[in-house]
Amino acid sequence: MSTNRRARRPSHTLPPATASARTNASSSSKRPSAQRSTKKSAAQRRRARNRFLASALGAIVLAGALSLALFDRPSSAGYVTTSQNWILPRLDASGHVSLASFHGRPVVVNFFASWCTVCAGELPVFAADAAALKGTVAVVEVNALETGNGSALAAQYHLASHVSAVARDVGGSQGDGLYQSLGGTGTMPMTAFYDASGHLITTHVGGFDAASLAQAIHQIYGVTVPA
pLDDT tens track for 128-180: 999 999 889 999 999 999 999 999 999 999 999 999 999 999 999 999 999 99
Looking at the structure of the chain, the number of domains it has is 2
Same domain, 114 and 182: yes
CATH of the domain at 115: 3.40.30.10
In whole angstroms, what is the distance from residue 50 CA to residue 76 CA?
A: 34
Q: Is residue 8 part of a domain?
A: no
Q: Is residue 9 part of a domain?
A: no
* pLDDT value at residue 32: 55
- DSSP letter string over the chain? -----PPPPPP-SPPHHHHHHHHHHHHHHHHHHHHHHHHHHHHHHHHHHHHHHHHHHHHHHHHHHHHHHHHSHHHHTT-B--TTS-EEEBTTSSSEEESGGGTTS-EEEEEE-TT-HHHHHHHHHHHHHHHHHTTTSEEEEEE-S-SS-HHHHHHHTTGGGTSSEEEE--STTTT-HHHHHTT--S-S-EEEEE-TTS-EEEEEES---HHHHHHHHHHHH--PPP-
Domain span at residue 63?
18-71
Q: Is the pLDDT of residue 125 over 90?
A: yes
Q: Is the pLDDT of residue 79 over 60?
A: yes
Same domain, 51 and 158: no
* pLDDT value at residue 47: 74
pLDDT tens track for 12-63: 444 444 444 444 444 444 555 555 556 557 777 777 766 766 665 555 434 4
Same domain, 114 and 212: yes
Q: What is the mean pLDDT of residues 180-207?
A: 97
Same domain, 49 and 157: no
Same domain, 62 and 166: no
Q: Is residue 29 part of a domain?
A: yes
Same domain, 132 and 26: no
